[in-house]
Amino acid sequence: MPPSQRRSQSQRTSFASQASRNHDDDMSEDEVEPTQSFQALDFSQRIPDETILNTQEIHSVKAKERENLNRLDETQREKAISDLTRLLLFKGLAGESLDRLKCAKEADLPPRITSAAFDEANKRLQNCFDFELKRIPAWMENMKDLPQSKKDRYYLVNCLKEDETGEHSKALHSVHEDCSINKGLLMVILALCYCEGEPKTDGSRWLRDDRLYELLHRLDENIPKEPPRGEGSSSARSTSHPNVDAALVKFVHQDYLLCIKEKDPELTMYCLGPRAAMEIGRKQILYFCSQILGQDPDPSMLLELEQDEPDQGVEEEEVE
């Protein structure tokens, strides 16, 4: 067995055992003194993963499309850029995926200016709103089971520099209680997929849905122990808060998770998705796991992540 798989199995066993112990101890809060690691968990966005944010810029501008954009009269050019910027901002903030060709069609862009219009819209997003468009991390492009459609998508990423305590990210994501609950559930699911998932040679880790529900049930007995099977089975189940069935569908739709459905046997496999890799990153998920376990991150796993990341660099713009 390769060393990386042995390391991941060790990490998975630790996380699963911790989850099981937390559930099976069955003690009241008066009987257990909370550990320091559970009293003061760092905010997940405290240490941004700069290597992810700096390596996958949007596609470079085609010289002919830049020329076509410049040939438009000022009113047409401003309308095209403004309409595209507005569309990207609203869809991005709503958690929608940003397919280049579909967005160009929805914004009713004139023909043969797409790359230049996206470049101008991206500059406006950065200068006015401190957001920018990014492509998926380079290591994800080589994933065998990544659909081709995901490779042609952009993601709206917050590029405002964070302070030491993560106050900006807290202000963005902690406004509503339901939003905080869903973010917490997402982090737990991503952690389970990363630590419990079966490692592949392309760097991905996939977790069966029955194993995911089993572990979530250990953490919260109100969550069903098994995933829904068959048409309409999810709606007939007793609902927990948050509703894990509905949350998984939403996370897949928003590209926080990837999923593969198998027919024989009937199951679904989950993996870290492009948006989670962009907004959170594997390193933050690893640190989140280590804090839950009250341990330091595995140095070999950190080294593995560093080796997966390409050298930082920006795709050069095509010019005449």
What is the Rg, in whole angstroms, of the alpha carbon atoms belonging to the chain? 22
Q: Could you tell me which of 208, 185, 249 has the C-alpha nearest to residue 44?
A: 185
Tokens 């699911």 correspond to: 189
Chain-centroid distance of CA 28 in Å reads 35
Which tens digits make up the pLDDT trace of 223-278? 899 998 766 555 556 566 778 999 999 999 999 999 999 877 789 999 999 998 88
What pLDDT is attached to residue 6?
Answer: 43
**Terminal Cα-to-Cα distance of the chain (whole angstroms):** 52
Pair 144, 96: CB distance under 8 Å: no
Reduce the DSSP state of residue 120 to 3 states and report it. Answer: helix
CA distance 184 to 280: 12
DSSP letter at 203? S
CA distance 273 to 271: 6
CA angle, 100 as apex, 97 and 103 as ends, to 5°?
75
Ordered mean pLDDT values, 10 residues apiece, the chain (320 residues): 46 47 45 37 44 68 96 96 97 90 95 96 94 87 86 85 61 59 89 89 90 92 86 58 89 94 87 88 85 81 69 40
Torsion of the alpha carbons at 148, 152, 153 and 154, rounded to the nearest 10: 150
Phi-psi category of 175—alpha, beta or left, where left has phi over 0 and alpha has psi -120 to 50? alpha
Reduce the DSSP state of residue 130 to 3 states and report it. Answer: coil
Which tens digits make up the pLDDT trace of 17-36? 454 454 444 444 444 343 33
Q: Could you tell me which of 153, 260, 137 has the C-alpha nearest to residue 203?
A: 137
| pTM of structure | 0.75
For 42-74, b where at least 16 C-beta lie within 10 A, e where not — what string?
Answer: eebbbebbebbbebbbbbebbeebbebbeebee
CA distance 304 to 204: 12
CA distance 173 to 106: 28
Q: State both tokens at 18.
A: 């911790």
What pLDDT is attached to residue 315?
Answer: 42
